Chains A and B, each alone.
Chain A
Amino acid sequence: MKTKFFFIIIAFLLAFASSLFLGPTFINPLALDDTTREILVNIRAPRIIVAALMGMALGASGAVLQGILRNPLADPYILGISSGASLAAALGIIGGLSIFGTFTVPVLAFAGALITGGIVGTMGWKRGGLWPERLLLAGVGISFLFSALLMLIMSISRDEGMRRAMLWIFGDLSMSDWERVPYGLSLILCGIAMSSSRAKALNALILGDDFAHSLGFTPQKERALLFVSVGLMTGASVSLGGMIGFIGLLVPHIVRFFIGADSRSLIPASALGGGALLCIADLLGRSLLSPMELPSGIVTAIIGSPYFLYLLRRKNVLSV
């Protein structure tokens, strides 16, 4: 168990380091000139840190959500949070807004995520607490509504605005700079800490509210706390770099294959796994067609899904 967790940490560090030094061209950290130093320090480093943070947020959110919703198909996007964020961001991109300068799109996206999270939370609230089925259905409903609005805007917008919005929605890490790091770092680490500290309660919730209650947890309170942590992480992640699919849904399952379903290790391990995967996906997205870039969200799903299917064939357990 400990060794497996250690292995995941090593994998994460390897992924992080390789995407920092490899890329369209290899950068040798021991022989830097002005150009390569600028690229390494001010272009690649913040970008990879943002990629790692986003991946961590999505992986951890997925692990938490599959637990509180007791549903293996749950992911951070099923609650509609990301479609709210995308809708707000697309409005900003297509409308050419620049109220907060370079922070306009992230701020809009985060606001969109929070508002949507609030709406879904309110819909899922009944008799003094959040109910998994209600949350899930409210999320799916909101998600459909906002996606439809998003498509409506895109279909009536100018062609170039649409392409920009599409690229952002598919996941765009190229605009990450140091300014975005503290913001992402604080929100996402806060979310991960919050959910990890409730991991024991999550373990109990998975087994049922009655069971959790008998172990001394207040199911509704725990669920609300966990829901807020997911909202923070998903909102921050989408606002940093758009929608990255796959990680939130399948990384927790992949990690479960290796270390089991105990939330205490599943949440941090899913975070690390998600971070590692997004770093690698971004590395490939930057390098494969250089100097063109591929959206990381697409690469993530293309390399991740076959691996998941392979694991699914090899091991025949699939449990939340």
Chain B
Amino acid sequence: MRGCVLKRLFLGLVFFLFTINNSPFTASYAAEPPKRIISLAPNITEILFALGLGDNIVGVTSFCDYPEEAKKKPKIGGMSNPSIEAVVSLKPDIVVMTTDGNPKEFEERLRSLKIRTYVFTARRLTELPQGVRDLGTALGVKKSADKFAEDYEKTLNRLKVHNSKSVAGKKKVLFIVWPEPLIVAGPGTVIDDALQSLGAENIASGTNTAYPKYSIEEIIRRSPDMIFIGKGKGMEKVSEGLFKRLRIVPAVRNHKFFYVSDDLYRLGPRTLKGIAEISGLMDK
């Protein structure tokens, strides 16, 4: 009980310091960033943090787990089912949403409640820099957004050039998202874009779903040279059976299958790290 009171006092104090610290000084800027931002997607949360807006975020989804500070932000529900009440009660100046996972109706609902929204539409690797520039302009952090976009484009180009030099011929690759049931990264995903930007051929590109349930037979027939598989709790064990079944495939025969981080699952600041990781493995 006493701890609770102390905690409230402390929070109140922090809030008080926060408000007096912010209002008089930042008010002098012309395009002032909104003070209360809600992010409705994990990659948007990461981008907002990267643009230096972390302190202005007042609400995130339950999937927003990166960076560490994001976990401490108040949760407003999932991506596909955010709680309208939670959003409204946080009194946001703006709600940043994505076309990749948030329901369109939710945006309409927010607008009808006179809450400002911003819809982030970039979903592909090459769309990200412009997407961040536009977002930065709308949120009054144009400078850091431009820098982010520029760095991003530079690094991406460097990786592309590096790989076009080092990798002879097109490598056939496959990115496994989950082994049982077998789900792989198909066309239109950031992972597919990343693999192609490195000059590799994703053998699952030809399907018509982003994350298809894929045929094991077809993997054997298309015999990828390398297989990447998303790291996860106990993934080595869960994927044992699959790799046993794929033992005839060159990637498995030559031990060219790698457990990689989840950096590529989200289109954001970490995507490049994920591409660099794959690029490093392809050099091996």
B99 within 8 A of A: no
Residues of A within 8 A of B79 (CB): 159
- Partner-binding segment picked from A168-176, A252-260, A310-318: A168-176
A39 B221 Cβ-Cβ under 8 A: yes
A156 to B211, CA, bound (A): 21
CB pair B215 A286 closer than 8 Å: yes
Chain B contact residues, majority secondary structure? loop
Interface residues of B in 57-103 (CB under 8 A from A): 63, 78-81, 101
Q: Is the CB of A159 within 8 A of B101?
A: yes
Contact A172 B181, CB 8 Å, known A35-B220, A101-B240, A155-B81: yes
A164–B181 alpha-carbon span in the complex (Å): 7
Please name all residues of chain A whose beta carbon is closer than 8 Å to the beta carbon of B182 when the two chains form the complex.
Answer: 174-175
Q: Is the CB of A160 within 8 A of B177?
A: yes
| B238 x A175 contact (CB < 8 A) | no
> Contact mask A94-111 → B, CB, 8 Å, 1/0?
001110011011000000
User: Which residues on the A side are within 8 Å of B206 (C-beta)?
Assistant: 291
Q: Does A23 lie at the interface of the complex (its beta carbon under 8 Å from any beta carbon of B)? A: yes
Residue A72 is within 8 A (CB to CB) of chain B in the complex? no
Establish whether residues A292 and B212, one from each chain, have CB atoms under 8 Å apart when the complex forms: yes
B240, A174: Cβ atoms closer than 8 Å:
no
CB-contacts of B96-124 with A (<8 A): 101
Given contacts A101-B237, A174-B215, contact A35 B181 (CB under 8 A): no
B19 to chain A, nearest CB (A): 35
B223 interface neighbour in A35, A97, A172, A174, Cβ under 8 Å = A35
Q: Does A158 have its Cβ within 8 Å of any Cβ on chain B?
A: yes
With A159-B79, A292-B208 as known contacts, state yes or no: A98 contacts B238, CB within 8 Å. Answer: yes
CB contacts (< 8 Å) of A174 on chain B: these are: 181-182, 213, 215-216
Query: Closest CB-CB distance, B241 to chain A, in whole Å?
Result: 3
Known A-B contacts A158-B63, A175-B181; the reply to A102 vs B240 at CB < 8 A is yes
Question: A223 near B: Cβ within 8 Å?
Answer: no
CA distance in complex: A172, B178 (Å)? 14
CA distance A163 to B181 in the complex (A): 10
- Please measure, in the bound complex, the distance between the C-alpha atom of A97 and the C-alpha atom of B233, giving whole angstroms: 8
Query: In the complex, A190 Cα to B214 Cα: how many Å?
Result: 33
Interface string of A171-204 (1 = CB under 8 A from B): 0101101010000000000000000000000000
A102-B214 CB under 8 A given contacts A175-B241, A291-B204, A291-B207: no
B248 at the interface (CB under 8 A from A): yes
Distance of A101 Cα from B244 Cα, bound (Å): 13
B283 within 8 A of A: no
Asked if A140 is at the interface (CB within 8 A of a chain B CB), the reply is no
Tell yes or no: B255 within 8 A of A by CB: no
Q: B220 is contacted by which of A23, A39, A290 (Cβ under 8 Å)?
A: A39
**When the two chains form their complex, are residues A38 and B248 in contact, meaning their CB atoms are under 8 A apart?**
yes
Chain B residues with a Cβ closer than 8 Å to the other chain, count: 40
- Asked if residues B217 and A160 are in contact (CB atoms below 8 Å), the reply is no
- Contact A163 B183, CB 8 Å, known A96-B233, A98-B234, A102-B238: yes
Tell whether B162 is near chain A: CB-to-CB under 8 Å: no
Which residues of chain A come closer than 8 Å to B234, judged between CB atoms? 96-98
Residues of A near B218 (CB, < 8 A) are 24, 290-291
| Cα distance A102–B214 in the bound complex, in angstroms | 18
Query: Which of these, B208, B238, B245, contacts A43 with CB under 8 Å?
Result: B245
Instruction: Answer yes or no: B12 CB below 8 A from chain A CBs.
Output: no
User: Judging by beta carbons under 8 Å apart, are B180 and A102 in contact?
Assistant: yes
Query: B232 interface residue, CB < 8 Å from A?
Result: yes
- Contacts of B81 on A, CB cut-off 8 Å? 155
Decide if B209 is an interface residue (CB 8 Å cutoff).
yes
Whole-angstrom distance between the alpha carbons of A160 and B78 in the complex? 12
Cα A246 to Cα B240 in complex, Å, equals 32
- B-side contacts of A179, CB under 8 Å: 241
- A167 at the A/B interface (Cβ < 8 Å)? yes
Nearest CB in chain A to that of B183: its residue: A164
Q: What is the CA–CA distance of A69 and B158 in the complex, to the nearest angstrom?
A: 70
CA–CA, A105 to B216, complex, Å?
Answer: 19
With a 10 A CB-CB cut-off, give which of A34, A98, A290 has the most chain B CB atoms. A98
Interchain CB contact under 8 A, B213 and A292: yes
Partner of B209, one of A35, A101, A286, A292: A292
Q: Give bound CA distance, A98 to B238, whole Å.
A: 6
What's the minimum C-beta distance from B220 to chain A, rounded to whole angstroms? 6
A90–B177 Cα distance when bound, in Å, is 18
- Near A by CB (< 8 A), chain B positions 133-152 give none
CB-based contact A290/B181 at 8 Å: no
Which residues from chain B contact A42 at a C-beta distance below 8 Å? 245
Pick the residue among B207, B212, B217 that contacts A286 (CB under 8 A): B217
Give Cα distance in the complex from A292 to B187, angstroms.
12
- Whether the Cβ atoms of B220 and A38 lie closer than 8 Å is yes
Instruction: Kindly identify which residue among A39, A44, A159, A175 contacts B180, using a CB–CB cutoff of 8 Å.
Output: A175
In the bound complex, how far is the Cα of B209 from the Cα of A289, in angstroms? 11
A to B CB contacts below 8 Å, 13 in the list: A24-B218, A34-B248, A35-B220, A38-B248, A43-B217, A43-B220, A102-B240, A102-B241, A105-B180, A164-B178, A174-B181, A174-B213, A293-B214
Known A-B contacts: A101-B237, A101-B240. Give 6 more (CB < 8 A).
Answer: A38-B220, A96-B234, A98-B237, A102-B240, A177-B245, A292-B214
Q: Name the 10 nearest CB pairs between A and B, nearest first.
A: A102-B241, A291-B218, A98-B234, A98-B237, A292-B212, A172-B181, A38-B248, A167-B181, A291-B215, A96-B233
